[in-house]
Amino acid sequence: MLAQPEPVRRGAAVLGAVLIVLGLAALVGRALSIDLFSVGWPLFVLVPGILMFAMAVGIGGQAGTALAVPGGIVTMTGLVLSAQAATGLWATWAYAWALVAPGGVGLALLVYGLLTRQPAIARIGWPILAVGLGLFLVFGLFFEAVIGLSGPAVSNLEPALAVGLIVVGALVLLAGTLGRQRPS
């Protein structure tokens, strides 16, 4: 019997684990009388994104990196849709796009680099993720606190968004400072 190459075994293990988790979630949902299809329709976007990312990790190398990016974008889209479906705040797409791209791209590269032990790819993901979070916070602050896009119930988020801007700014400064320090 021929042994499977390492990327194939790794991909099969990741895909198998994802399928087991999804199956367990379906059983728990059924046991708790939760109709996942009426409540969790964003899963139809989220699950394919997770599977794409899992396959990317399983494949590895440049091909894995190329698949991780769209997997991250689709996964982040599913997460944003899940949050919007749970809250009914659909107008947040005016600024939530920044979480999808560039945020989802940066997160995908960061996580992929960490999982595949490729620190160079993970380092590329950090600033892209920071830009996505920064755009989300800046536009969120503008649309929610200044314009009141989602109504008065959300307009009191100004202090939280302002603190978020400070944190993201500090992370960007820190990453920029650490990125310039090279051993001589």
| Mean pLDDT value of segment 140-151 | 79
pLDDT at 24: 80
CA pair distance 146, 155, nearest whole angstrom? 8
| DSSP structure class, residue 145 | I
Q: Is the dihedral of CA 110, 115, 117, 118 positive or negative?
A: negative
Instruction: Calculate what percentage of the chain has a pLDDT beyond 70.
Output: 81
Question: Mean of the per-residue pLDDT values for the chain?
Answer: 82
Q: What's the one-letter identity of residue 22?
A: L
Query: d(Cα 124, Cα 137) in Å, to the nearest integer?
Result: 21
Omega before 7 within 30 of 0, i.e. cis: no
- Whole-number pLDDT of residue 181: 55
How far apart are the C-alpha atoms of 49 and 43, rounded to whole Å?
9
Q: Which residue has the tokens 């949050």?
A: 83
pLDDT tens digits, residue range 37-72? 666 788 889 889 998 999 999 888 888 999 999 999
